[in-house]
Amino acid sequence: MVGPPGAGKGTQARRLSAERRLCRISTGDLLRAAVDAGTPLGKMADEFMSRGELVPDDVILDLVAEELGRPACAGGTVFDGFPRSVGQAEGLDRILGRGGERVDRVLEIDVPEEEVLRRLAGRRVCKNCEKLYHISFGPSQVEGRCDVCGGELVQREDDHPETIQRRLAVYRQTTSPVLSYYEERPGVTVIPGDRPVDEVAARVRRELAAVGSGA
Ligand code: AP5
């Protein structure tokens, strides 16, 4: 799943992975876990993430290769916010090619920038279980607390106006060309993301109905 920051990739990828029992690889979540754990990788990644810049391709590809080696990913994977550069797309093809696998579908979740700004400014994440909320479009029942586990809801460090602008610029310059990379094979399906979450999910489901059924 490709799309600008705040397009709803994480929201949709989580649903898809639960519904289809697919492994979900979110490079953003993996990096944030490393930052929280204070590992050398996390310390290095934090420098890039806090500025809204991309973490170098070789680091990302090593992370993805390691994740793909987990038994949970043997039945198929949904990539959430990866690949984000043509170098990463080429690297992914190499990694998958070793096991005779390939990218089946590319979904671009398309959302206008004004909507991105509204979504990211209001996003809250459970510190404990990572469930996503939005203060206006999908609030928790008790302000500041997760409905599922009661954990504290926090704002992501990179969800501040200047960093959001930089993330959008990086998306336009470096990530958009990934869509051209996939244009010929397997092709890119554009999904309007400025619709209610359930509607977007229904469209994702329809687009992927044939994947894994041999079609
Ligand atoms: P990452 O964590 O991947 O962030 P991102 O791509 O900027 O995307 P977001 O997580 O902000 O948004 P999303 O599209 O998942 O939307 P969400 O579902 O949360 O990356 C963060 C940083 O890590 C990068 O800037 C970079 O530094 C680094 N990084 C990560 N991957 C990398 C890579 N491959 N290479 C190099 N560096 C990398 O939804 C947003 C909000 O909107 C939520 O509040 C949600 O509840 C709400 N919402 C969702 N859908 C809807 C809807 N349909 N209607 C109304 N509200 C909605």
Give Cα 55 distance to the centre of its chain: 14
Query: Does 167 qualify as catalytic in the annotation?
Result: yes
Rounded Cα–Cα distance for residues 203 and 193 (Å): 10
Instruction: Name the catalytic one among 14, 123, 124, 203.
Output: 123
Q: For domain 9-22+76-212, which CATH number applies: 3.40.449.10, 3.30.1330.60, 3.40.50.300, 3.30.470.20? A: 3.40.50.300
Q: Which atom of ligand 1 is nearest to the CA of 82?
A: 34
Taking the domains of the chain in order of start, what are their residue ranges? Answer: 9-22+76-212
Give Cα 196 distance to the centre of its chain: 18
CA angle centred on 12, ends 11 and 16, rounded to 5°: 125
3-state secondary structure of 153: strand
Of the listed ranges 59-63, 88-92, 125-129, the least confidently predicted one is: 125-129
9 C-alpha to ligand 1 centroid (Å): 6
Q: Is the CB of 137 under 6 A from ligand 1?
A: yes
**pLDDT value at position 212?**
67
Residue 136: band (very low, low, confident or very high) from pLDDT cuts 50, 70, 90 = very high
- When the pLDDT of each residue in the chain is averaged and rounded to a whole number, the result is 94
- Please determine, for residue 104, whether its predicted confidence score (pLDDT) is greater than 90: yes
Question: pLDDT above 90 covers what percent of the chain?
Answer: 93
Residue of 54, 130, 140, 204 to mutate, ligand 1, most atoms within 8 A of C-beta: 54
Predicted confidence (pLDDT) per residue in 13-58, tens digit:
999 999 999 999 999 999 999 999 999 999 999 999 999 999 999 9
Closest of 139, 103, 141, 109 to residue 124, by C-alpha? 139
Closest of 122, 110, 111, 109 to residue 161, by C-alpha? 122
Q: Is the CB of 203 under 6 A from ligand 1?
A: no
Predicted confidence (pLDDT) per residue in 147-176, tens digit:
999 999 999 989 988 999 999 999 999 999
